[in-house]
């Protein structure tokens, strides 16, 4: 019978590949979610109902349903209805991005609204357009306040990738399940999986704390 050390050594290369997939999807999804969140934020803040209502529906729908249902819907439901094919990786990335994007929408909105209205008025009085004032004056200040929240969303993205095992993506959780299904050493393998998640999320949280101390405006 293999020793615990041998089990860990044998499993380590496969777990590291699963961790790589977890980190890849997490980083890509947080990038896409920032774009989605910024667009949806400006739609929510628009004076036009045709833009404001769809954005509100998107945010409330995503935040009001389990991410597992969202993943299954995008991978199984939507392709069936639209007669298209999505790879598991693409569907998983879309699901995580849309989910985090809904939360980023509210982060953007809260950050922008936290900047005094006098900033916008000052920019307009200098001859800047609304877009120029937002891009050059409001957003740079707001983003500094929002950085810790965005990093926190990355930790959620890392955790949420574990759900992607249901559609066959070989991220960390699924790789771990596959290994202990073959060697029946679930204790050692799940301990390693949990340790990898903890180290990754703790690192991100540590970075978030440092950023908060450095960038947040009181």
User: Computed over its alpha carbons, how large is the radius of gyration of the chain?
Assistant: 21
Q: What is the reported pLDDT for 217?
A: 47
Q: What whole-number distance in Å separates Cα of residue 43 and Cα of residue 54?
A: 8
CB-based contacts of 154: which residues, under 8 Å, 6+ apart? 26, 27, 30, 204
Q: What whole-number distance in Å separates Cα of residue 104 and Cα of residue 64?
A: 15
Q: Is-above-0.75 flag for pTM? A: yes
Give the residues of the chain that fall short of pLDDT 70.
Answer: 1, 215-218
Q: What's the half-sphere exposure (Cβ side, CA atoms, 13 Å) at 20?
A: 6
pLDDT digits (tens, 9 = 90+) for 122-169: 888 888 888 888 888 888 888 888 888 888 888 989 999 999 999 999
Q: What whole-number distance in Å separates Cα of residue 205 and Cα of residue 156?
A: 11
Q: What whole-number distance in Å separates Cα of residue 25 and Cα of residue 77?
A: 21
Q: What whole-number distance in Å separates Cα of residue 47 and Cα of residue 25?
A: 35
Q: What whole-number distance in Å separates Cα of residue 205 and Cα of residue 197?
A: 12
Q: What is the reported pLDDT for 215?
A: 63
Q: What whole-number distance in Å separates Cα of residue 105 and Cα of residue 58?
A: 10
Q: What is the reported pLDDT for 62?
A: 96
CATH H superfamily, domain 4-215: MetI-like (1.10.3720.10)
Q: How many other C-beta atoms lie within 10 A of the C-beta of residue 149?
A: 18
DSSP-derived letter for residue 217 is -
Q: What is the reported pLDDT for 218?
A: 45
């Amino acid at each position: 019978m293999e020793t615990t050390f041998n089990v860990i050594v044998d499993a380590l290369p496969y777990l590291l590949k699963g961790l790589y997939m977890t980190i890849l999807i997490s980083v890509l999804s947080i990038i896409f979610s920032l774009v989605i969140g910024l667009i949806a934020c400006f739609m929510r803040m628009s004076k036009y109902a045709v833009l404001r209502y769809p954005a509100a529906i998107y945010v409330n729908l995503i935040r009001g349903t389990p991410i597992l249902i969202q993943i299954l819907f995008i991978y199984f439901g939507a392709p069936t209805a639209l007669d298209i094919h999505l790879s598991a990786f693409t569907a998983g990335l879309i699901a995580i991005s849309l989910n985090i994007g809904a939360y980023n929408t509210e982060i953007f909105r809260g950050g922008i609204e936290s900047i005094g209205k006098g900033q916008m008025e000052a920019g307009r009085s200098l001859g800047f357009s609304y877009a120029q004032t937002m891009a050059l004056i409001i957003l740079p200040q707001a983003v500094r306040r929002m950085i810790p929240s965005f990093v926190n969303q990355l930790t959620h993205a890392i955790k949420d990738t574990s759900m992607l095992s249901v559609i066959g993506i070989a991220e960390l959780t699924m790789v771990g399940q596959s290994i202990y299904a073959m060697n029946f050493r679930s204790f050692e393998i799940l301990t390693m999986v949990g340790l990898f998640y903890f180290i990754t999320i703790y690192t991100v949280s540590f970075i978030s704390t440092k950023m908060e101390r450095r960038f947040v405006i009181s």
